[in-house]
């Protein structure tokens, strides 16, 4: 195939646009923070499960404390009633029975208050554990929210850039002869499509061409469409080619 050197040089702009379009598409479909966002989602689920467990422990301790406090209140009320009856009775036998019951109630109240203190300690520990776990969860959620917002912004920017590049590409492609554009498009499916030959090096695959290949390219007419023997892209020759 033959094409003017000017038309071939346009392929360099087209290849650059295709490369940038591919980068924009990758940025759109694979935002930089996607992996971390997914990781945080997994961490968040685990932290939520742990928070649910700790909350259950705290609630059970609170419920137990409420029961103990209720028992203490009942004992206190009963002691108060018995004390009033003892103060009012003149029956020595009844007085003795009330004194015995008051002693038993005092022992019961002391035992309950010891239990109350122990349960209060467990409630405090459970509340501290819940608060610490909630803080961890809040930190995870905050980071996930921040990165999600950033990822959405990055996707929007990449989408807008891709659309602009596509418009630019259409304008550049319109300047390339149909047969040359078709040849470039076919090659671009597997390689850079077109690349500058710079000082004996293919800029598409970054390989320095051997002398025999360079000699063949030197002998080729200026309007001949030559290929890189390594990657198969169209080699565009300019004053930088070192021929």
What is residue 90's predicted lDDT score, i.e. its pLDDT?
Answer: 84
The SS3 of residue 22 is: helix
Q: What is the pLDDT of residues 186-198, one digit of tens each?
A: 999 999 999 999 9
Tell me if 86 sits within 8 A of 35, measured CB to CB. no
CATH number of 28-173: 1.10.287.1490
Q: What is the pLDDT of residues 145-173, one digit of tens each?
A: 999 999 999 999 999 999 999 999 999 99
Q: How far apart are the first and last CA of the chain?
A: 20
Q: What is the pLDDT of residues 124-143, one digit of tens each?
A: 999 999 999 999 999 999 99
Contacts of 168 (CB under 8 A, 6+ apart): 17
* Buried-state track 127-137, b at ≥16 Cβ within 10 A, e below 16: bebbeebeeeb
* Bridge partners, residue 70, by sequence: none
Tell me if 209 sits within 8 A of 167, measured CB to CB. no
Query: CA torsion sign, 44 to 49 to 53 to 56?
Result: positive
User: What average pLDDT does range 202-219 have in this prediction?
Assistant: 93
Rounded to the nearest 10 degrees, how much is the dihedral formed by the CA atoms of 71, 76, 78, 80? -170
Rg of the chain on CA atoms, in Å:
42
pLDDT band at 68 (very low <50, low <70, confident <90, very high): very high
What is residue 70's predicted lDDT score, i.e. its pLDDT?
Answer: 96
Q: What is the pLDDT of residues 72-84, one digit of tens each?
A: 999 999 999 999 9
Domain limits, the chain = 5-26+177-241, 28-173
What's the whole-model pTM score? Answer: 0.72
């Amino acid at each position: 195939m033959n094409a003017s050197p000017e038309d071939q040089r346009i392929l360099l702009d087209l290849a650059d646009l295709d490369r940038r379009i591919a980068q924009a598409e990758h940025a759109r479909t694979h935002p930089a923070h996607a992996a971390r966002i997914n990781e945080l989602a997994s961490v968040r689920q685990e932290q939520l499960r742990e928070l649910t467990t700790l909350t259950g422990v705290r609630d059970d301790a609170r419920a137990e404390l409420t029961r103990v406090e209720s028992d203490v209140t009942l004992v206190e009320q009963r002691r108060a009633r018995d004390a009033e009856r003892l103060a009012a009775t003149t029956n020595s036998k009844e007085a003795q029975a009330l004194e015995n019951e008051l002693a038993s109630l005092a022992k019961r109240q002391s035992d309950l208050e010891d239990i109350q203190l122990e349960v209060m300690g467990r409630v405090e520990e459970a509340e501290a554990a819940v608060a610490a776990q909630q803080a961890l969860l809040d930190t995870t959620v905050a980071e996930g929210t921040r990165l999600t917002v950033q990822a959405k912004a990055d996707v929007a920017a990449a989408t807008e850039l891709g659309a602009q590049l596509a418009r630019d590409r259409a304008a550049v492609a319109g300047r390339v002869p149909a047969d040359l554009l078709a040849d470039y498009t076919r090659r671009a499916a597997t390689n850079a499509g077109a690349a500058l030959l710079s000082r004996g090096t293919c800029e598409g695959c970054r390989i320095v061409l051997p002398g025999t290949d360079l000699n063949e390219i030197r002998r080729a007419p200026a309007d001949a469409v030559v290929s890189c023997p390594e990657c198969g892209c169209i080699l565009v020759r300019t004053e930088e080619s070192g021929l």
